[in-house]
Structure 1
């Protein structure tokens, strides 16, 4: 079982807004630290780290060894797409 991180650079002009929204959203359930430029969510499947740039949001997942990585990617993408409904579907090219 590998514990490989998974990263997506998501093109958007609203990276800081989405980072903060996701952290506030999950802050009711999980330990969260964030500011306008970066955030970390202590997600049960493994921590999530985000960095907001001017033209993209970088999302890095650090899945636990037994985590379904594809499911974790989908949960994060679904939540961010909910916040981005006015912008349209965000593109997640996980690597």
Structure 2
């Protein structure tokens, strides 16, 4: 069986300025925890989906999201799932239009 850990992953990163990044990070992780593998502490969390992984890092001035997936379609799916859920939890602070405008930068 092939070892998939050696496959190159596509990586993208998004940043959203918010003073309550830890709260939104925790909401994202806890929401998905009943469906997928999630690790969470006060400063960061990891969500492992079948199609990719998202690391969420609560920084003092905002929330950093780092997505990684084996292909372009999977990476786009992961970015979309994370941003849509973030917008649902942060609807008072993040409109749908603003959420859609958060850029994902490829690395």
Same fold, TM-score > 0.5, yes or no: yes
**CA RMSD, 1 decimal:** 1.9
Cα drift, residue 44 of structure 1: 1.2
Cα distance in 2 for partners of 1:70, 1:32 equals 20
1:94 aligns to 2:104 (yes or no): yes
- Secondary structure of 1:42's aligned partner: strand
Q: Measure, in 1, the Cα distance between the counterparts of 2:16 and 2:67.
A: 13
- Of structures 1 and 2, the larger Rg is shown by 2
- How far the C-alpha of 1:78 sits from its partner, in A, is 0.3
Distance in 2, matches of 1:32 and 1:21, equals 12
Question: Any gaps of 5 or more consecutive residues in structure 1?
Answer: none
1:8 corresponds in structure 2 to 14
Q: CA deviation at 1:66?
A: 6.5
Structure 1 window deviating more from structure 2 (7-16 vs 64-73): it is 64-73
Unaligned runs of 5+ in 2: 1-7
Aligned to 1:34: 40
Higher strand share: 2
In structure 2, what is the equivalent of residue 49 of structure 1? 55
Q: Which of 22, 27, 36 lines up with 1:21 in the alignment?
A: 27
> Secondary structure at the residue paired with 1:85?
coil
What is residue 76 of structure 1 aligned with on the other side?
82
- Asked whether the 8 Å contact 1:63–1:69 carries over to 2, the reply is yes
